[in-house]
Amino acid sequence: MTPPSSSRDRLRFGANYVPSAGWFYSWLDHSADAVRRDFADLAGIGLDHVRVFPIWPWIQPNRTLIRQKGIDDLLGLIDVAAEFDLAVSVDLLQGHLSSFDFLPSWVLTWHRRSVFEDAAVRDGIAAYVDRLTREVATRENVFAVTLGNEVNNLWPANPTTPEASTRWAAELVEVARSAAPHLLTLHSLYDATWYDPAHPFVPADATDLGSLTTVHSWVFNGVSALDGPLGPATVTHADYLVELAAAASPDPARPVWLQEVGAPRPDIGAEDAPAFVRGMLEAVTANPALWGVTWWCSHDLDRALADFPEREYDLGLFTVDHEIKPETQELAKIIVELRADRRAAPERPALVCDVDPRTQPERRAEVAPGSAFHRAWVRLRESGPVAIVSADRAADSAYLAARGITTVLHPA
């Protein structure tokens, strides 16, 4: 059941699994029947995979203690997914989820030390990554492990530098790869990595580490303020971020997984959500670098739970009562359409970018939403797919051909 690394005729569609009952606190009282009901919802709309999030401190409450019961609950969830023919990607370090950070006590209080810089902490994490990866790799429907969910959100509470964060991720990716060579091993970062020149996690971490590049596209990062919920900048942001990641990679064939995308309120109102889903997917699925799309998230957050940002409550494909939403119905239609019409990726022009985020992270603001380059790309994108190519590769005919680029355009 392990998926191919990349295929134009096998785009994958899935959901980031947020339990409908009890959010991630449900790991404290795991119910296979509750998971089964949730996964029936997801399989029913044609999804083929889920990304799941065990809570790190509840499995490794002490640096030298890894709880088998916590692992068994995770394995049980994976087995339920197999009942619905759902492949599973496991995130290891949670880490950060929906504005909350879950860290074990052995990196807090009197033991406070950086997750990224402290050698003893890194050794403890390495033991956890090795153990959990080996355990989940025993299940045939597991296809990937990610170090954690947007681990760069743990900074600045955990001090780090670009050098330290890269070394941390490289070491742990190798631990996971050695533990299960047949799985995809991934590193997950939110988009400050791509847009913030001061951020200590750099684009090279995303493009060089792991089996493929992952990106998380959220229009509340300022994109929706440019032109509203259905404007071209908003609808094409996922495609822009996938394209930016593809252009920054040393390997022109490296796939990009849109690992998180959603329709957050109030940026995307309920009345606009179905049109946003269709427009966003029609744009991004034309991108030849795209490996798959994983929606955030599967189910809404119960409003009985307090202290979450308002937008976190309504991001689900289904309500907590398992009611399907209009945008979910639109997603299901699009999945059927795309699987029935497996067209080859179009050849397209490329816009030359003077900034290479991978080698010039100090210039990341120049490709951020609202920048002159981003606005130029959005204008061109209204007429059809547009690639991005760094200036130093704009004359490399073999590279351009590998990415399906026919002509090279320069910003006016």
Co-location of 177 and 320 in the same domain: yes
Question: Of 307, 340, 373, which residue sits at a domain end?
Answer: 340
Distance of CA 127 to the CA centre of its chain: 24
User: Does residue 3 carry a pLDDT above 50?
Assistant: no
Co-location of 289 and 394 in the same domain: no
Extract the runs of DSSP E, i.e. beta strands, from 115-262.
Answer: 142-148, 184-186, 213-217, 256-261
Task: Output the six-digit token pair for 211.
Answer: 């089996």
Determine phi and psi for 14, rounding to 5 degrees.
Answer: -150, -170
Co-location of 117 and 188 in the same domain: yes
Place of tokens 């609950």: 73
Residue length of the chain: 412
Q: Which residues contact 120 (CB under 8 A, 6 or more apart)?
A: 63, 113
Q: From CA 149, how far away is CA 151, in angstroms rounded?
A: 5
Report the percent of the chain where pLDDT is more than 90. 94
Q: From CA 99, how far away is CA 180, in angstroms rounded?
A: 31
Provide the residue range defining the domain that includes 174.
12-340
Question: Of 312, 340, 368, which residue sits at a domain end?
Answer: 340
- Which amino acid, one-letter code, is at 282? E
Q: pLDDT per residue over 354-368, tens digit each?
A: 999 999 999 999 999
Q: From CA 8, how far away is CA 290, in angstroms rounded?
A: 8
H helical segments located in 312-395: 326-340, 372-381
Determine phi and psi for 28, rounding to 5 degrees.
Answer: -75, -20
Q: From CA 66, how far away is CA 14, in angstroms rounded?
A: 29
User: Does residue 322 carry a pLDDT above 90?
Assistant: yes
Residue in 144, 31, 39 with CA at minimum distance from that of residue 86: 39
Q: From CA 348, how far away is CA 351, in angstroms rounded?
A: 10
- Domain assignment present for residue 6? The answer is no
Q: pLDDT per residue over 197-227, tens digit each?
A: 999 999 999 999 999 999 999 999 999 999 9
Q: From CA 316, how far away is CA 322, in angstroms rounded?
A: 10
Question: Per-residue pLDDT averaged across 272-284, rounded?
Answer: 98
Q: pLDDT per residue over 225-277, tens digit each?
A: 999 999 999 999 999 999 999 999 999 999 999 999 999 999 999 999 999 99
Q: From CA 8, how far away is CA 144, in angstroms rounded?
A: 19
DSSP for residue 165: H
Co-location of 333 and 388 in the same domain: no
Question: Per-residue pLDDT averaged across 76-101, rounded?
Answer: 96
Co-location of 242 and 353 in the same domain: no
Q: What is the pLDDT of residue 152?
A: 96
Co-location of 78 and 180 in the same domain: yes
Q: What is the pLDDT of residue 7?
A: 43
398 by DSSP, 3-state: which? helix
Co-location of 253 and 374 in the same domain: no
84 by DSSP, 3-state: which? coil
- Domain assignment present for residue 3? The answer is no
Q: From CA 218, how far away is CA 408, in angstroms rounded?
A: 28
Cα Rg, the chain, nearest whole Å: 20
Residue in 343, 224, 234, 213 with CA at minimum distance from that of residue 280: 234
**In the chain, what is the greatest distance between 2 CA atoms, to the nearest angstrom?**
60
As for how many domains the chain has, the answer is 2
Q: From CA 38, how far away is CA 16, in angstroms rounded?
A: 12
Residue 373: how many CB atoms within 10 A of its CB? 19
Co-location of 257 and 170 in the same domain: yes
Rounded to a whole number of angstroms, the distance between the first and last alpha carbons of the chain is 48
- Domain assignment present for residue 218? The answer is yes
Q: pLDDT-based confidence at 8, cuts 50/70/90? A: very low
Mean pLDDT of the chain: 95
Q: From CA 42, how far away is CA 12, in angstroms rounded?
A: 13
Co-location of 150 and 35 in the same domain: yes
Co-location of 353 and 290 in the same domain: no
CA separation (Å) from 170 to 147, 148, 160, 167, 206? 10, 13, 14, 5, 11
Q: pLDDT per residue over 182-196, tens digit each?
A: 999 999 999 999 999
Q: pLDDT per residue over 336-345, tens digit each?
A: 999 877 667 7
User: Does residue 76 carry a pLDDT above 60?
Assistant: yes
CB 20 within 8 A of CB 320: yes
- Domain assignment present for residue 4? The answer is no
Co-location of 317 and 186 in the same domain: yes
Q: What is the pLDDT of residue 342?
A: 61
Q: What is the pLDDT of residue 5?
A: 40
Q: pLDDT-based confidence at 9, cuts 50/70/90? A: low
Q: pLDDT-based confidence at 1, cuts 50/70/90? A: very low
Q: What is the pLDDT of residue 394?
A: 96
At CA 138, angle to CA 132 and CA 144, rounded to 5? 65
Co-location of 356 and 211 in the same domain: no
Q: What is the pLDDT of residue 6?
A: 41
Whole-prediction pTM: 0.96
Q: From CA 77, how far away is CA 156, in angstroms rounded?
A: 33
Determine phi and psi for 371, rounding to 5 degrees.
Answer: -65, 165
Q: pLDDT per residue over 153-178, tens digit each?
A: 999 999 999 999 999 999 999 999 99
Report the percent of the chain where pLDDT is more than 70. 97
